[in-house]
Structure 1
Amino acid sequence: NCSTLDEDLFLWNAVIKSYSHGHEARQAFIILYLMLENKGLSGQVSPTTVRLKCLSSWYLHYNSLFGEIPKEFSNLQELIDLYLNDNNFLVPFLLILVTWLLYKLTGNIPIEIRDLKGLSFISLQRNRLDGKILASLENLVMLKRLYLSYNHLFGEIPTTLANILQLETLDVRKNTLYGNVLS
């Protein structure tokens, strides 16, 4: 529910509170955008940020964040833009991120991606991802661009990708894939 967030938000051990006339007062917040790029942030991303259920854009790039991205982030159903480049995150990621460009990610594409139905753009290019392209990507009905080039993906390109009616760009070059997607 994106109508209110009636609780304290804990982000990197900082508490967002409102004070009124010297007394602590609770207020409801709806946070749609967090623009924290290049702010000198360090530490781990807290799983409590999943309380930001209305979050659609989150910019964390050019900081010194580290650790794993909590798997609970797959619950951020409104998330459209997420930039994490130029940090020190560990893989495997349990959440698919909107932009994973040049992060040197390894392993399979996480299955949790199928739950982020609001995504319109995914860039996983130029990583070390391997395995097959998930057929369940067809659940991403808003997806317009999917970039998977320059990885180590193999196997047949899922024909179910043709079910994504919004899909305009599918870039899978420089992998070991075969087949085609007809719409």
Structure 2
Amino acid sequence: NCSTLDKDLFLWNAVIKSYSHGHEARQAFIILYLMLKNKGLSGQVSPTIVGLKCLSSLYLHYNSLSGEIPKELSNLQELIDLYLNDNNCLVPFLLILVTWLLYKLTGNIPTEIGDLKGLSVISLQRNRLDGKILASLENLVMLRRLYLSFNSLFGEIPTILANILQLETLDVRKNTLYGNVPS
């Protein structure tokens, strides 16, 4: 579960800090890539993950994570790939509805996600996110793929998305959105 991950990250950071006091090991341990796809993780995404300052890729999809996306993720200024999609359990067929209701990321997409200017992929589909698509996404000038399908987002599709010149894929299916897709 995520509390175990949280402890592991804390211990890993403690090891990194203890080694970094030596002259030669200052840059010895830098985590750039965290692949925890389909690992059976449950609980909330821990805000302590922001201790991994150089993280460029975060893959937490196909787990059983729930709760809100931590606003603290906006502190990961090197982040390029963020995959939080499809967070539900692999359970027998009869429990799929229960899984749908219990194990999903919820709440609004944090406004602070617009501070992650290096992001090229945001994958948040198949959760229970609600609210509007944020105008702050306009700040993500490197964004190439935005996957928001199968959530509970509502309102008008922001025309400012047309300002993201690198955007190749915009998937907003199965939400309650209206308006034209900006081109």
TM-score for the superposition, normalised by structure 2: 0.65
Compared CA separation, residues 11 and 118, structure 1 to 2 (3 A): farther
Mapped contact 1:34–1:58 kept (Cα < 8 A): yes
Q: How far off is 1:28 after superposition?
A: 4.8
Instruction: Indicate if the aligned counterparts of 1:80 and 1:120 stay in contact, CA closer than 8 A.
Output: yes
Shift in alpha-carbon separation, 1:91–1:11, aligned structure 2, 3 A:
farther
Bigger shift: residues 102-111 or 126-135: 102-111
Distance 1:147 1:29, change over 3 A: same
Tell which deviates more after alignment, 32-41 or 136-145: 32-41
Measured on the aligned residues, the alpha-carbon RMSD in Å equals 8.4
Check whether the contact 2:66–2:104 (CA below 8 A) recurs between aligned residues. Answer: no
Identity of aligned residues (%): 91
How many pairs align?
A: 183
Give the structure, 1 or 2, with the largest relative contact order (CA under 8 Å, sep 6 or more).
2
TM-aligned CA distance change 1:46 to 1:121, over 3 Å: closer
Give the C-alpha shift of residue 155 in structure 1.
1.2
Select the structure that is richer in helix: 2
Farther off after superposition, 77-86 or 170-179: 77-86
**Structure 1, unaligned runs of 5 or more:** none
The structural deviation recorded for 1:42 is 8.6
1:42 paired with 2:31, answer no
Structure 2 stretches lacking a partner, 5+ long: none
Could you tell me how far apart the structure 2 residues matched to 1:67 and 1:137 are? 21
TM-aligned CA deviation for residue 46 of structure 1 = 6.0
Deviation at 1:45, TM superposition (A): 6.6
Per residue, is there more strand in 1 or in 2? 1
* TM-score scaled by length of structure 1: 0.65
Q: Distance in 1 between matches of 2:35 and 2:19?
A: 23
For 1:109 and 1:179, the matched residues in 2 are separated by 20
